[in-house]
Amino acid sequence: MRILLIEDDEALRAVLVPVLEKAGFGCDSAADGASGLALLLQNPYDAAVVDRMLPALSGLELVRAARGKGCTVPVLMLTALGRVEDRVEGLGAGADDYLVKPFDNRELIARLQALGRRPAHTLESALLRFGDVSLDAAALTLTGPAGTARLSKNENALLEALLRRAGQLVSREVLFCAVWGAEDFVEEGNLDSYIHFVRRRLRTVGSRAAIRTVRGMGYCLETGGDAP
């Protein structure tokens, strides 16, 4: 795997680059968000490790800009901010995973390896329809009565899994596997965050489709009004 490390802390960068290389990763690095974004858009990386607090362009701004330009490279965000709200904001910006400092280098390596194992979301049919909404999974776009919204890769994978089983109860385990694959290093709350994001996307495009929570079991995509 070829990794891009974007970290402004010179001492931490000097530690992590050889750690990643020793683990078998090819590793490029950048010290600020602007140069990191340029490298990310110009090179075929397998994953990027992005610090949240960067000069020139913050980690959140970097990820939003990359996703806005169609970049689908998996992003692991590093931060000293460990509140649930901070994780939700990072994932909502388009990051795929979130690691709070300080961390064990073994966990960083394991999370990057897990990102590399995530399945490519190739589809039998790129266009999925349900009620008043349609998902173009190849283009990462959701269309409803009020317009079109671009989705992150994880939002796209989650909504695809629900659309393919519309009207059926889909377990949390199935949804986890659809979005993250068989990984051990994804926090349980990440799924709840992405359910929230997808519900918001459905409202943005004016759809009446709703994701109903079945407590302790999973979720069901239905037509109708808002669901809890």
Which stretch of 58-72, 86-100, 141-155, 179-193 has the lowest confidence by average pLDDT?
179-193
Q: Is pTM beyond 0.75 here? A: no
Q: Using the 3D structure, point to which of 96, 117, 138 is the last residue of a domain.
A: 117
Q: Are residues 94 and 176 in the same domain?
A: no
C-alpha distances (whole Å) from 31 to each of 3, 69, 88, 149, 203 are 14, 21, 25, 32, 38
Residue 227 lies in a domain: no
Q: Are residues 20 and 95 in the same domain?
A: yes
What is the average pLDDT across 42-47?
A: 90
Are the C-beta atoms of 197 and 92 separated by less than 8 Å? Answer: yes
Short-list 49, 35, 39, CA closest to 3: 49
Give tens-digit pLDDT for 183-201.
Answer: 556 777 888 999 999 999 9
State percent of the chain over pLDDT 70.
91
Q: Are residues 13 and 106 in the same domain?
A: yes
Residue 40 lies in a domain: yes
Short-list 68, 130, 56, CA closest to 94: 68
Q: Using the 3D structure, point to which of 117, 151, 182 is the last residue of a domain.
A: 117
Residue 78 lies in a domain: yes
- Between 3 and 126, the more confident residue is 3
Give tens-digit pLDDT for 205-228.
Answer: 999 999 999 988 899 999 875 444
Give tens-digit pLDDT for 92-116.
Answer: 888 888 888 889 999 999 989 888 7
Q: For residue 43, what is the domain's CATH number? A: 3.40.50.2300
Residue 94 domain boundaries: 2-117
Short-list 139, 152, 138, 128, CA closest to 207: 128
Which pLDDT value is given to residue 122? Answer: 41
Q: Using the 3D structure, point to which of 117, 139, 169 is the last residue of a domain.
A: 117
Which pLDDT value is given to residue 168? Answer: 87
Number of structural domains (the chain) is 2
